[in-house]
Amino acid sequence: MKKKALIIFILFLFYGTASPQSCLPEGITFTTQEQIDNFQTNYPGCTEIEGDVEINGNDITNLDGLNVLTAIVGDLRIWDNYALTTLSGLRNVTSIGEDLRIWNNDTLTSLSGLGNVTSIGGEFCIKNNPSLIDLSELGNLSSIGGYMSIWGNAALTNLTGLDNVTSIEGGLYIGSNYALTSITGLGNVTLIGGLNIKYNNALTSLSGLDHMTSLGGSLLIEDNDALTSLSGLDHVTSIGGYLEINDNNALTSLTELDNIISIGGFLTISDNDALTSLSGLDNIAAFSIDGLCIYDNISLSTCEVQSICNYLISSTGTIQIYNNAPGCNSQEEVEEACESVSVESLNPNEEISIFPNPANKQLTLSSKDGTTIEEVIIYNQTGQIVLLEKPVNNIVDISLLQPGLYIIEVASGQRVVRERLMIE
């Protein structure tokens, strides 16, 4: 009997220590290397911390004592660790339930140790780590539930390592990374809450955002001194908030924005010294612009693009146009130039006829040269697709759409044209 009881006790002890165990619902703070080293002794069997974990200590050099952890349900905050060079002790962690913040770690050169993390439930902030060279250890990360901020990492040159991330729901902020030359690594992101790119002095283009088609929030491109192109934003069709492009002294063109058909706030273009034309903003629906600010672009002389002209003729909202080149130096100059631009249609050549407009039940389409109408897409005022179909006998049924203003996009051969569509 005693032998049997001993076996049961040993089995209980084995399974009690070997099975994953949740612990520390109130969280834990590490301020010394000794606390890290003694974690497994002080909390035997603890593999999943329910609360927040904070790591903040001048003498902490490694996190090896935490190598039994598989998950952190709360926040993980790693900050002001001046001697910490590696995160390899976190190599078995696969998920972080809330925020991950890595701040002010002077000697941290890589994120080695986060290679098995697949999801972060809240925000992900990588800020002011001056020795951090790359993000290559993040290869298994696929989703970020809050915003992601990559800010003030002076040695960071690219974003390779984020290649499997498909959504950043809270928005993406990339700023003050003075060695950053490329944002390649974001090529699979399709959903971003908003995009803010500023103070990246070596960044020359935005290539790497090729799968992004819409922004739930605003788009701000500001103070990127070497940025010559907005390539990478070519497929964006809608912006949920404001659109601002400011203080990019080498930027010469906005043509990569020509697929944007709607925004949800102010349109501001300011202090871009090399910019000569607003071509690329042509297709933004005027009714989606809340206010217009165009100023201090010393080379900008061509502002009479379709969206701007439509806004000037139809809006009573904010209009500020000044200190640009002749032709775009005041609201009056732009209005005069707009007299030669049609404000009735986004398809002034009338290559494709859309009848009737306004409409309420169905549309009849025809191309000027008889080319087959291949596809029709209708967007609502926020840029969402509300109808996509291949018309039968050039007829499109719109009877299920609510009354209001829309944008219709028609593809025929190599041509794609857009017009406003009023449904009554």
Provide the pLDDT for residue 348: 43
Q: Where are the beta strands (DSSP E) in 145-295?
A: 147-151, 167-168, 171-175, 191-192, 195-198, 214-215, 219-222, 238-239, 243-246, 266-270, 291-295
Q: Is residue 13 part of a domain?
A: no
| Distance separating alpha carbons of residues 43 and 81, to the nearest angstrom | 23
104 CB-near residues (< 8 Å, 6+ apart)? 79, 80, 127, 128, 129
Amino acid (1-letter code) at residue 367: S
Q: Is residue 9 part of a domain?
A: no
Provide the pLDDT for residue 381: 63
Shared-domain flag, residues 276 and 387: no
Q: Is residue 5 part of a domain?
A: no
Shared-domain flag, residues 373 and 272: no
Provide the pLDDT for residue 334: 96
Q: Is residue 50 part of a domain?
A: yes
Shared-domain flag, residues 374 and 291: no
Shared-domain flag, residues 256 and 400: no
| Token pair belonging to 261 | 């058909």
Q: Is residue 344 part of a domain?
A: no
Closest to 128 measured CA to CA, from 105, 146, 112: 105
- Supply the CATH number for residue 202's domain: 3.80.10
Shared-domain flag, residues 306 and 202: yes
Q: Is residue 358 part of a domain?
A: yes
Domain that holds residue 393: 352-423
149 CB-near residues (< 8 Å, 6+ apart)? 123, 124, 125, 126, 127, 172, 173, 175
Provide the pLDDT for residue 382: 60
Shared-domain flag, residues 151 and 253: yes
277, 310, 338 - which closes a domain: 338
Shared-domain flag, residues 106 and 175: yes
Question: Distance of alpha carbon 24 from its chain centroid, rounded?
Answer: 35
- Nearest 5 degrees, angle CA 158-CA 160-CA 161? 140
Shared-domain flag, residues 276 and 378: no
Q: Is residue 3 part of a domain?
A: no
pTM: 0.79
Shared-domain flag, residues 263 and 161: yes
| Distance separating alpha carbons of residues 108 and 90, to the nearest angstrom | 14
Provide the pLDDT for residue 16: 43
Domain count of the fold of the chain:
2
Residue pointed to by tokens 């949800």: 264
Provide the pLDDT for residue 9: 41
| Distance separating alpha carbons of residues 289 and 303, to the nearest angstrom | 15
- Supply the CATH number for residue 414's domain: 2.60.40.10
Residue 222's Cβ-count burial label (10 Å; 0-12, 13-18, 19+) is: buried
- Report the largest interatomic distance among the alpha carbons of the chain, rounded to a whole angstrom: 103
Shared-domain flag, residues 362 and 332: no
- Blockwise average pLDDT, block size 10, the chain, 424 residues: 44 45 96 98 97 97 98 98 96 98 97 96 98 94 95 96 92 97 91 94 91 90 96 90 97 94 93 98 88 98 93 86 97 92 48 85 85 85 79 89 84 74 85
Shared-domain flag, residues 90 and 131: yes
Q: Is residue 14 part of a domain?
A: no
286, 305, 338 - which closes a domain: 338
Shared-domain flag, residues 276 and 151: yes
